[in-house]
Amino acid sequence: MDKDKKTVITISREPGSGGSFIGRALARELGISYVDREIVREAAKYFKLPENKIDSLDEKLRSFWDSFYVNINGYQDVYLPPQIVGPTDWELFEIESMIIRKIAEIRSAVIIGRCGFHVLKDCAHHIRVFLYADKDFRIDRIKKLRNLSYEEAKTMVLQSDKDRKNYYKTFTGKDWSDTGNYDIAINTTSIDLLAAVKMIMNFIYAFKE
């Protein structure tokens, strides 16, 4: 890959579709950064919170009551449970978006999730990827990767789908799973994940010519 030409690939993905595997493999093949935990670390530093606290809030919205308690933090007459303390949804989104934009300004990278396709919509060297798969395939993959029962994996996939749909709709006004939002969309149900990496690489090189 031409080191003098920056390319930022954002990957939006359904849980269990192979997003992390494909993202890491793509970054390795292209010789560029893979960005996921870095965003969590930098956000945690900004808010002076443990990384696991940011993890618990990442790519999902708080419940109504969680948001209520966060927004009234500081009022002396209201009890605030300690576990609720932290940034609001919008504060976290804005800081993670700032981190993503800074990364895109200085280096080529593969960036996972967090509405990256929308955050970098005005970035000229940006390629938007969406990975999806049949629900049964995703449940089976999560089941094997996390050593879960079928019902546990199904619950995880369905809840994650709901969380991400609401999260993306709130912050982008768009349907997360609408393939029209992306430059390339790949159904990984019946394609080897490394083959998906090659497809994306071919698209990138065609895009840059």
Dist CA 56 CA 40 (whole Å) = 10
**Cβ contacts of 187 within 8 Å, gap of 6 or more:** 132, 133, 134
Fill in the amino acid letter for 52. Answer: N
Backbone angles phi, psi at 10, to 5 degrees: -100, 135
The residue count for the chain: 209
CA 135 to chain centroid: 19
DSSP β-bridge partners for residue 158: none
| Token digits of residue 32 | 């560029």
Domains of the chain: residue spans and CATH:
8-208 (3.40.50.300)
At 1 the pLDDT is: 52
CA 19 to chain centroid: 9
List alpha helices for the chain, DSSP H: 19-30, 37-47, 51-57, 64-71, 89-106, 116-119, 135-146, 150-172, 193-208
At 61 the pLDDT is: 81
Show the CA angle centred on residue 101, arms to residues 98 and 107, nearest 5°.
135
- pTM, to two decimals: 0.86
Fill in the amino acid letter for 96. Answer: E
Show the CA angle centred on residue 153, arms to residues 119 and 34, nearest 5°.
35
Looking at residue 17, the DSSP 8-state letter turns out to be: S
Q: pLDDT 10s digit of each residue in the chain, 209 long?
A: 555 578 999 999 999 999 999 999 999 999 999 999 999 999 999 999 999 989 888 888 864 334 433 343 443 444 444 454 678 999 999 999 999 999 999 999 999 999 999 999 999 899 999 999 999 999 999 999 999 999 999 999 999 999 999 999 999 999 999 999 999 999 999 999 999 999 999 999 887 65
At 185 the pLDDT is: 97
